[in-house]
Chain A
Amino acid sequence: MGKFMQGYLDEQFMELEELQDDANPNFVEEVAASYFKDSARLINNIDQALRRGPLDFNRLDSYMHQFKGSSTSIGASKVKTECTMFREYCRAGNAEGCLRTFQELKKEHATLRKKLEHYFQVQASDQLCVINQLQNMC
């Protein structure tokens, strides 16, 4: 995973890689896909909630709780940090803080997505390389 991912993903990601096996050869990628699909939905919900007049902090906190839980599934550490901060602001009733943090969160989320997409592409092409080499050998 190396420096490319450093800080963005924690040990959980490695745990996922360990779970990957012959029965589920694309397990990690599938999990990542599931996460991004689900988190996109959550981000959407939060976005909408933030646009509505006076903020419903309880509701927002609840959304963020879900989001945090989801983010732990792939080990999205930076995203998780933003989630925690957001919840702090919620508890403090700090709308400004919530909005700011949410922007950061979305940024981190987008960055992670790109990185992972790249990561899986590289993996796939590595595999292709290997296959090519093997074929060439025949």
Chain B
Amino acid sequence: MDKGFSPVGLRVLVVDDDPTWLKILEKMLKKCSYEVTTCGLAREALRLLRERKDGFDIVISDVNMPDMDGFKLLEHVGLELDLPVIMMSVDGETKRVMKGVQHGACDYLLKPIRMKELKIIWQHVLRKKLQEVRDIEGCYEVGADWFTRNDEAHYLGGGEDVSFGKKRKDFEFEKKLLQDESDPSSSSKKARVVWSFELHQKFVNAVNQIGCDHKAGPKKILDLMNVPWLTRENVASHLQKYRLYLSRLEKGKELKCYSGGVRNMDSPPKDAEFSSGHQSPGKSSYVYSGGSSLVHKAETDPKQLASSSVSDPSSDVHMPPKGKKKRIEFEPPISSSVFDSLLPWSDVPDPLESKPQILFESSFLQQQPLLPSQSPYVVASAPTLMEQEMKPSYETCVNADEFLMPQNKNSTVINQDVSLSTPSAISCMKLQESSSNVNNDTESILRSLNWELPESHHSGFIDTDLDFSWLHGEHLLANTGLQNFQFQDYSSSSSLLSELPPHLWFGNDRLPEPDEYTLMVDHGLFIS
């Protein structure tokens, strides 16, 4: 049984000089609910493509065309139109396949082609779009355009596999998220910053320049970055996340949970050397302070947070200077009976918009504080760690990009979690279970997402190609609000994470707002 999930109305151009195959492919693609145009000649195909710019989403072409070499066509399409192209052939010789790769094919399918291979071609379209979003600094249009254009293309939930099912309203919600993000005049309160690769690189450079100096505050970083439209608040919040990310890296692959309240209970508050990121032993780490300030983008002066102690003796250490008592009460003991302690979360004081961050891994809570000797700016080691964690890079940009990587390792976590609608021990356990299955193998990550992988013998290409780079796209999905676009079923409310128990957050005293959420997700900080 095919677990189906195909965007309806994907516009496909099929090019093949074999009339029989053309007929068959047309039928198959129609069965996938795609919009099909067939063409028997390469030149004709090019003409069509040029005439109807933006008229197609993807091209599938046979390698052997009488009037033009299929690879030539591939080049033209790739260069002029920047559409994803899938090559087909009865011939699966490695060198031919490689030639396809070199000429920029997204995939190489062997004839006879199976339905399941065609059902997933939309992934190439999406991935390409996401790459575009990423490549354009601060530019939201592509993703939004694509989405808007595909307004009519509603997404079918497939088969009986609930994990692929996605309610229409959820899709609408994500679309709205994306549109909000892209529309500068939207009603979101704050202009959301998309931390693109380049922007983050600038950030990292600035941070490194300042060095492992606890005086590295957002203002300094901002000045160094020299990005006119960026605000101190933007930098501050990004800085928090970055520190979190680094601290997670320090911990290596150990799965821990950064649940703020726990540690707080156990250790008396001390001055959080917040900006330095150093922690004294036994103190709840800067992680939490970071978390708190993260959510105070507009309301809190990041500079103050950065440089001063965050502790508020009258309440929990994580309380930001604002002094609101929003700490989520936790009941010790924190142990393997993790879930017990997690349950009484209902006393979340603020009826804030519930967009919690999920920053934990399998063992939900952990008692030891972070290593005291941690420096937040271990930039040099960070990429290395990432490299170890990730498979050899499929794409060339691996520097700051890796900052965005952690997510894929634990994408199971976030997706599983998002599907929780009520806080419950079972949900938590599910989370734990899924996280413990996490490993660095991209394939298994995809599998754990119940994502059907393409049959390797037909398109061995796609395994390497799509698996890894798809995960690149994964965080970008988040970035564009499409994060769970084809993953779990959101049987809960349209608000993605509305019911996620706050104790699963990382110690925020306030739930982040939707745009913040997206920003956080963007940086893979949902997974620790």
Contact = CB atoms under 8 A, between A and B. Distances in A.
Contacts of A65: 64, 90-91
Contact of B18 (A12, A27, A62, A70): A70
Contacts of B90: 65, 68-69, 72
B27 A73 contact: no
Question: How many B residues touch the partner, as a band?
Answer: 10 to 19
B28 interface: yes
Interface in A21-63: 24, 27, 30-31, 34-35, 37-38, 62
B24 to A, nearest CB: 6
Interface residues of A, number: 22
Contacts of A31: 20, 23-24
Contacts of B19: 34, 37-38
Given A69-B64, A69-B111, A24 B27 contact: yes
By secondary structure, the A interface counts as: helix
Interface in A58-94: 62, 65-66, 68-70, 72-75
A15 B112 contact: yes
Given A19-B31, A35-B20, A69 B115 contact: no
A16 interface: yes
B329 to A, nearest CB: 58
Contacts of B24: 16, 19, 31, 73
Contacts of A75: 112
B339 interface: no
Chain A CB within 10 Å, residue with most, of B27, B31, B62: B27
Given A15-B115, A65-B64, A69-B111, A74 B27 contact: no
A44 to B, nearest CB: 16
Given A34-B20, A69-B89, A74-B20, A27 B27 contact: yes
A70 B21 contact: yes
A75 B19 CA distance: 15
Nearest to A21: B31
Interface string B101-125: 0000000000110110000000000
Contacts, number: 52
Contacts of A38: 18-20
A74 B112 CA distance: 9
B503 to A, nearest CB: 49
Interface string B150-179: 000000000000000000000000000000
Nearest to A69: B90
Nearest to B111: A72
A22 B114 CA distance: 21
A73 B20 CA distance: 7
Contact of B21 (A15, A19, A62, A69): A69
Nearest to B114: A15
A12 B28 CA distance: 12
B23 A12 contact: no
Contacts of B62: 69
B401 to A, nearest CB: 40
A19 B27 contact: yes
A68 B20 CA distance: 12
A65 B31 CA distance: 28
Interface in B4-62: 17-21, 23-24, 27-28, 31, 62
A73 B21 CA distance: 6
Contacts of A30: 23
Nearest to B17: A66
Contacts of B115: 15
A38 B90 CA distance: 16
Contacts of A16: 24
A114 to B, nearest CB: 19
A75 B90 CA distance: 12
A76 to B, nearest CB: 11
B484 to A, nearest CB: 31
Given A34-B20, A66-B64, A73 B28 contact: no
A38 B27 CA distance: 18
A68 B23 CA distance: 17
A75 B111 CA distance: 10
Which of B17, B23, B90 is most buried by chain A, counting CB atoms within 10 A of its CB? Answer: B90
Nearest to A73: B20
A72 B112 contact: yes
Nearest to A62: B64
A66 B63 CA distance: 11
A2 B111 CA distance: 24
Nearest to B91: A65
B114 A73 contact: no
Contacts of B31: 19
Nearest to A36: B20
Identify which of A15, A27, A75 gathers the most chain B CB atoms within 10 Å of its CB.
Answer: A15
B23 A34 contact: yes
Contacts of B27: 19, 24, 27
A19 B24 CA distance: 9
B18 A73 contact: yes
The 10 closest A-B pairs by CB, nearest first: A69-B90, A73-B20, A34-B20, A12-B112, A72-B112, A35-B20, A72-B111, A19-B27, A73-B21, A68-B90
28 contacts: A12-B112, A15-B112, A15-B114, A19-B27, A19-B31, A30-B23, A31-B23, A31-B24, A34-B19, A34-B23, A38-B18, A38-B20, A62-B64, A65-B64, A65-B91, A66-B18, A68-B90, A69-B18, A69-B62, A69-B64, A69-B90, A70-B21, A72-B90, A72-B111, A72-B112, A73-B21, A74-B20, A75-B112
Given A37-B19, A66-B64, 4 more contacts: A12-B112, A15-B114, A30-B23, A75-B112
Interface of A: 12, 15-16, 19, 24, 27, 30-31, 34-35, 37-38, 62, 65-66, 68-70, 72-75
